[in-house]
Amino acid sequence: MAGYTLSALEADIRSYTEVSSTVLTGAILGRFIESAEYRIFYDVPIDAYRYVKEGQFAADDNTLNMPGSGTHGLTGTMFVRGIEVFDSTANTEGKGTWLIKKDQTYLSEYTDRLTGPEGNLTAQDVTGLPKYYAMFGGATGTSDSTSGGIYVAPTPDLAYKFRVYVDKVPKSLQTQTSGTYVSQYFPNGLLYATLVEAYGFLKGPMDMLTLYENKYKQEVAKFAGVQIGRRRRDDYTDGTVRIPIKSPSP
């Protein structure tokens, strides 16, 4: 199946459901497509959504804004996979150390800091090269740089360099109308996931909704096999994939 553009996917949804644009308008289909994209995002770890942000701590500042579009932010961050800190203020060629993820309460106890009236850590008693990190808040938007982020401990005593490894919210076909990673490399899965949304909206037929739900599950299993299987291994390190085949009896 060829990859989808927004207009091509909309046309196929209307064709499969045999419902015109007067019912399945562009706005309605847009919501279906977005829901399908998020479903795929949550069902499969996709390499295309992995990003790395390089930055630099501010001395005596124990927070990073994530997500966000500020100096340290990375717009649209869904979750952090790891943070690497370097014992250098000039580049990332120094010795790298992976921070250990802990709960915010652990960092509070570790640094013996005071807690403000809204749970914000106010006093910073321990400084040095960061060793731990914890998430705080719950950022309310893909460009929010203040309501959610990362605490580190100890508080950096110098402007150390860092790398943050994250997974970002996928780009939607609604805004990237010529194609996205999913629409180009997993078009059948996107089609079936969107059809499930469409038939749910149309309230049936239930057999068609079940059909496309099962088709989606079959396709997502194959796609996941590539994303978390074949893309995470190579022949030199892991050996060639072999499928055992029974030999005929003599």
Predicted local distance difference test score (pLDDT) of residue 71 = 47
* Model pLDDT for residues 41-74, shown as the tens digit of each residue: 999 999 999 988 888 888 888 887 654 444 445 6
Q: Where are the domains of the chain?
A: 6-46+170-232, 49-168
What's the pTM?
0.78
- Residue 121 and residue 114 in contact, taking contact as beta carbons nearer than 8 Å: yes
Contact assessment for residue 62 and residue 153, using Cβ atoms and an 8 Å cutoff: yes
Q: What is the pLDDT of residue 147?
A: 55
At residue 143, does pLDDT exceed 60? no
pLDDT for residue 203 is more than 60 = yes
pLDDT of res. 146: 52
State the pLDDT confidence band at 220, using cuts at 50, 70 and 90.
very high
Highest mean pLDDT among 115-119, 213-217, 227-231: 213-217
